[in-house]
Structure 1
Amino acid sequence: MDNKRLLLAVSLSMLVLFAWQFFFAPEQPVQQPAEKAQVARKAAPMSDGEAPAAATSQDFVPTEGRTVTVDTPLYTAKFNSQGGVLESFVLKHYKETIQPDSPNVDIVGDQSVVKGPMGIILTRKGSEVHTWLKGQWAFEGSDLNIETGKQALVFSGQVGDFRLERRLTFDAATYLIEEDLTVTNQGATGVEASVSFTAAAKAMSSEKDSYNPTRIAWYNDAGREEVKDREDIAKGEATAGDLLQWAAIHSNYFMFAIVPGENNAVMYSGVQNDIFRLAVEEPTTLQSNVSKTVKASYFVGPCERAMLKTMPGNLKTVVDFGWFDILARPLLTALNFLYGYVHNYGIAIILLTLGIKIVFWPLSQKSYESMERMKKLQPMITKLREKYGDDKQKLQQETMTLYKTYKVNPAGGCVPMLVQIPVFFGLYKALMAGIELRHAPFIQHLPFTDWVWLADLSAKDPLYITPIVMGATMVLQQLMTPSTGDKMQRYMMLAMPVVFTIMFLNFASGLVVYWLMNNLLSIGQQWLMIAKNKKKEA
């Protein structure tokens, strides 16, 4: 085996690994229908820890429904007073597109309102379902304008024999909404029941966006799991229980999550007409003439990792970089550190690439030195092939003897490259899932034109300039690399830039900038190595 063959194998392996990981990787295991039933059976009623409280005897007086607005420095949320259902949740610091007149991101969307985002479902065991739609509701408060601290809205309702009071508490500094739902059973007997807290949101990304799918995810005693395929979600396969800590509808950048107040909750989800739905159900026992409070929290907003670290229910685990999490997070930290000085993520990526190249410079140097030594052995290897062409075993033995004689490791040029592959994938995940890169500009317009160019590092290059130039640098690298006498291998190696160029056409431009810069630095290092060898020979 010669160095070129190893290099080819490594390159192809990298391509296959990449394609499998990001296009064909199997979903995390999800519970099947039989398991769902088992989860529901496991959800034991929560204990009655609250003290009995006599139900109020005064008649409930509903009020006319209206929109109630909550305005904070981070968002503007609108609720319908008929049940406290969320009508819209507009983020003040995030736009839908990079266009100047783009509207701000609304997590809910107009079409999702009918699905009851932040609605309440009260189910009597073995009986009908009482939802926010079937009750009568009253609201006596006013709109909230929260600059600092916390404030609350209270919605009161009567649904059958049950009196409901929803207290929603908002924090000006976060996207977290805490709910205290007090249910009073005014019936003559106690009942086994369940309370479901709901979420509904429009798709947060295009159905065709395989890099940034809208998904259903959750975290329980088995760890973090998710379902990305919409058909699987529509079939009800995204279901979980077993010490559920949180459940969420989310994309790479935004989320609508529910954190149950108890650890015996069960999560159900679905998708229809581009609307994702989620319900977290908590079982409970409602004694006659006793008030009981059930708690939950909602996080509706961007996937800001720093804020999520301070949230309840281990919400920080919503942001997941997969296998390369251990590399992606420190790389993002380094990128943000550099951004703090240069205030441009494109420049920060270039500086980070330079830093990575410096770290791996000794390994790359050994790789180039190994390839140069292999180059000098090529005439001898060619003669061995001519002599033992029909005896593969003998050819292998003589080739290995030749390597030992001249102290050449045929894998020496490839091992350093293998070490760098995980860093590439870690940076890929960081650039694809880091909300910092969303709509982050590098070069707003192509120089000397009005054409929008690298105005969003999380999106592909609209002019395809960077991936094409990147492909050209790969061709130049191949031409600078010592070649073997095997024409087929040489042709395959020259085909690699074409394959990678096509693959990178739709990648985030931030990643292409990294790869292009890495290629340019590698070419410079290789040129220095060639010049050094020529000087030695002279």
Structure 2
Amino acid sequence: MDKELQKNMLLAIALSIVIMLIWQHFFAPKQPEQVQQQEQAAENIYHERPEPAAPTASTTGFETATTQVPPVELAKALDVAVSTPHVTATFTTLGARLTSLVLPEYQSKRGGHVELVPQDADMGWPLALGFNDTGFGTSTDSFVYEHKLYEPSGADLSDLTRELPACLSNAAPETPENEIRQRLDSCLPKLEATDDLRTAVIAHAAGKFAAAGSATNLAEMISKSTVLVFSRQLNPELKLYKAFVFDSGNYSFDMYVAFRNTGSQPLDLGRGRASYSINWVPGLESSETSAKGDQLVGVYLVEKDFGQKAIRKLKEAMVFPDKLTWIGLKRSYFFVAFAPTGGLVDASIKPLVQKGDRVSITFDMRPIKLEPGGIAADNIRILAGPMLKEVLESLGSEFDRILNFGFFDIFGKFLLAALILFDKYVQSYGLAIILLTLVVRLGLFPLNQKSYKSMKQMQSLQPMMNDLREKYKKNPQEMNKKMMELYRTHKVNPMGGCLPIAFQMPILIALFQALRYAVELRGASFLWISDLSEPDRLFTLTAPFRLSINLLPLLVIAAMVIQQRMTPMPSGAQNESQKLMMQLMPIIFGLMFYSMPSGLTVYFLVSTVLGLAQQYFVQKSA
């Protein structure tokens, strides 16, 4: 392989990286290469459901927000907020729906704290219910619910939980949930003042009893929870409860939908495939400066099969079976997910607009039969927070698979773990990135050293190679033969400069992915950089330019220009186009990094400078 071919290969590798990064930054959702592979691998997990004929119907056939709200009911609606150290949830009593879900520990780039619920009332609010056949309509969104909020260790909550151990003294972890509910319903004190709380505690205790390990642990856990209960007597025979139980220690809370037969006759809710639906609309709000680089992706786990789908590519509803473990939405740094724990018929993700980020997630729940006085309840665990490894792992159920760095995921997670470890010692993610770059360069030192030496050897052969080109310019086959003899004589491997670079590509790409999507860098400052997850923005020009001056990409251009001057350009008229492309490469990289996170640019700049130093010493020692 002669000098031109070597340059061509190096150019092809560099251009491939540029094209991949530009495509990922401007067009693809997070982890695009893995999205495509997992979509193909998981085709048997779901099937696409065509658009329904009626434009107002959901994917389940339940209407969820089509009923006109009477002015009297609207006037009575109130907002109710529940705050924990990790989340602040705000509900409206109109439909008992969620109107805001804020992460108080994180700042939004658009002002205030990170808001996960899109503030688009015309599209509907999350956690609405839709009904199939109940005799009172298809939606409860127009109802104003009664509500009560019970704080941790409050008197009412303590009185009920105190009785739990005695009520469940003979229950085993494998006791069915419906039997647990029946025991508690017949055992717990029946006080009209705490009817709603009693129902919520029964539903929550039945769902968590097996995991708690004992009734005593269960009682202690519930007593420390915040419980918000909405209730509505739908008709003389049926009362509906929507309860939300918050544990202050994590990024999740439980939603329970419970029904009680208050009549004298058996009730059959949903005479078809499902009785009601739970709906999350209209997606997941972006908290970044530009939503273009913060695209929305649907994620799901069916048994052990994980998959994800870019919402902008979703044309029809995706329907998942009852074996669904969890389903959710994610952006670059934050996520919301739902884990139904029983009663699910199927779940679906449906686009609300074409090529947009408005989407609904619908859970179709089982038909319900109730004897007089009987109670039935379904539970969905709702999880929302940052895509931090320790947070996702603490939630269990393989939620850590939501955090994914693409095809080289293992490398990416290893490098991110190293970055976090370094930060613990240097107390600065900027310094941690530099330290990580040093470690990576040290690990790649032998490969880079071999590459630079090979390039130096090839450079020393240039005069003889040019003579052979001139001598055999009319006989390419003979020229190639003589070139190979020249390589053997001088013991030069023409691929020596290319292969080491190719071998390190997986590590470099994984590092790029890890730094680009690391929540840890979000809001972290370094030197003049206010946020390592954003461009460095040294200063901004005033009107009429409105242009941010980013210093790091300019330094990248300067470093690459110096690097080019240390690397001889191909000569000859036939190489003019290649020479021009090599000269344009610093500008291409500078433009590419101009809108990328500064943490990634810091890595690339430091790596380039270290490469310059290594190349300089190789050339001096030759």
Q: The TM-score by the shorter chain falls in which range? A: 0.7 to 0.9
**Identity of matched residues, %:** 29
Check whether the contact 1:353–1:514 (CA below 8 A) recurs between aligned residues.
yes
Deviation at 1:337, TM superposition (A): 0.8
Q: What are the within-5 Å matches in structure 2 for residues 80-159 of structure 1?
A: 80-97=92-109, 102-112=111-121, 115-124=124-133, 130-135=138-143, 137-142=145-150, 149-159=224-234
- The answer to whether structure 1 residue 458 and structure 2 residue 536 are counterparts is no
Match of 1:195 among 255, 258, 276: 276
Q: CA deviation at 1:306?
A: 0.8
Aligned to 1:253: 333
User: Which TM-score applies when normalising by structure 2?
Assistant: 0.72
User: Is residue 2:366 matched to residue 1:291?
Assistant: no
Deviation at 1:214, TM superposition (A): 2.4
Offset of residue 428 of structure 1:
1.6
- 1:163 is paired with a residue whose SS is strand
5 Å-filtered alignment, 1:477-516, equals 477-486=563-572, 487-488=575-576, 489-516=578-605
Equivalences for 1:139-218 in 2 at 5 Å?
139-142=147-150, 149-159=224-234, 162-184=238-260, 190=268, 191-192=271-272, 193-200=274-281, 201=283, 203-204=285-286, 209-218=291-300
Q: CA separation in 2, counterparts of 1:68 and 1:136?
A: 13
Give the Cα separation in 2 of the matches to 1:206 and 1:96. Answer: 7
SS of equivalent to 2:250: coil
- Distance in 2 (CA, whole Å) between partners of 1:178 and 1:407 is 69
Partner of 2:217: none
Cα deviation code 1:129-173 (max 9, x no counterpart): 633314462223356799994232222223356422222111101
Q: 1:157 to 1:10 in 2, by over 3 A?
A: same
Instruction: Tell me if the contact between 1:68 and 1:143 (Cα under 8 Å) persists in the aligned partners.
Output: no
* Alpha-carbon spacing, 1:357–1:379, altered in 2? closer, same or farther (3 Å): same
Superposed CA deviations along residues 217-247 of structure 1, whole A, max 9, x for unmatched, are: 32225833333353x44x4445544632222
Classify 1:6/1:215 alpha carbon distance in 2 versus 1 (closer, same or farther; 3 Å).
Answer: closer
Taking the aligned partners of 2:225 and 2:152, their CA distance within structure 1 comes to 10
Partner of residue 560, structure 2: 474
Aligned to 1:59: none
Distance 1:458 1:254 in 2: 14
Corresponding residue for residue 48 of structure 1: none
Measured in 2, the distance between the counterparts of 1:397 and 1:390 equals: 13
1:435 Cα deviation from its structure 2 partner: 0.8
Amino acid at match of 2:478: K
- Opposite residue 555 of structure 2, the aligned amino acid is V
Task: Report if the CA contact (8 A) 1:135-1:159 is conserved.
Answer: no
Alpha-carbon distance in structure 2 between the residues aligned to 1:137 and 1:520 = 64
Give distance in 2, aligned partners of 1:242 and 1:498: 52
Checking the alignment, whether the CA contact within 8 Å between 2:525 and 2:532 is kept in structure 1 is yes
Structure 2 residue aligned with 1:320? 404
After superposition, the C-alpha distances for 1:462-494 in whole angstroms (9 at most, x for unaligned) are: 222111110111111111124443442333322
How far off its partner does 1:370 sit?
Answer: 0.6
For residues 506 and 615 of structure 2, what CA distance do their matches in structure 1 show?
22
In structure 2, the partner of 1:355 is: 439
Gaps of 5+ in 1: 44-62, 446-453, 534-538
The residue type paired with residue 203 of structure 1 is: E
Count of paired positions? 497
Return the letter of the residue paired with 1:351. L
1:200-226 CA deviation, whole Å, 9 max, x = no partner? 355315796443212333222583333
- State how far apart, in whole Å, the 2-side matches of 1:128 and 1:526 are: 78
Q: 1:136 to 1:173 in 2, by over 3 A?
A: same
- More displaced, 258-267 or 494-503? 258-267
Contact 1:136 1:159 in 2 (8 A): no
CA deviation vs aligned residue, 1:349-384 (integer Å, no higher than 9, x gap)? 111101111111111111111111111111111111
Q: Tell me the equivalent position of 1:343.
A: 427
Aligned to 1:216, the other structure's residue is in SS state strand
Taking the aligned partners of 1:171 and 1:494, their CA distance within structure 2 comes to 58
Correspondence for 2:160 = none
**How many Å separate the matches in 1 of 2:414 and 2:137?**
48
Q: CA deviation at 1:268?
A: 2.5
Corresponding residue for residue 489 of structure 2:
405
What corresponds to 1:310 in structure 2?
Answer: 394
Question: Bigger shift: 479-488 or 393-402?
Answer: 479-488
Q: Conserved in 2, the CA contact under 8 Å of 1:441 and 1:457?
A: yes
CA contact (8 A) 2:108 2:287 kept: no
User: Aligned-residue CA RMSD in angstroms?
Assistant: 3.4
Q: Which residue of 1 aligns with 2:216?
A: none
Cα distance in 2 for partners of 1:80, 1:373 equals 73
1:497/1:238 Cα in 2 relative to 1: closer, same or farther (>3 Å)? farther
TM-fit CA distance, 1:515 = 0.5
Q: Is the 8 A contact 2:103 2:385 kept in 1?
A: yes
Q: Which amino acid aligns with 2:583?
A: L
Is structure 2 residue 525 aligned with structure 1 residue 441?
Answer: yes
Moved more, 313-322 or 515-524: 313-322
Query: 342-351 vs 493-502, which deviates more?
Result: 493-502
State the Cα distance separating 1:424 from its structure 2 match.
2.0
Equivalent position of 1:227 in the other structure = 309
Indicate how the Cα distance of structure 1 residues 329 and 149 shifts in structure 2: closer, same or farther if over 3 A, else same: farther
User: 1:440 and 1:340, CA in 2 relative to 1: closer, same or farther beyond 3 A?
Assistant: same
TM-score, with length taken from structure 1: 0.83
Contact 1:388 1:395 in 2 (8 A): yes
Equivalent-residue separation in structure 2 for 1:194 and 1:471 (angstroms): 62
Using a 3 Å threshold, how does the CA distance of structure 1 residues 348 and 176 change in structure 2: closer, same or farther? Answer: same
Partner secondary structure for residue 309 of structure 1? helix
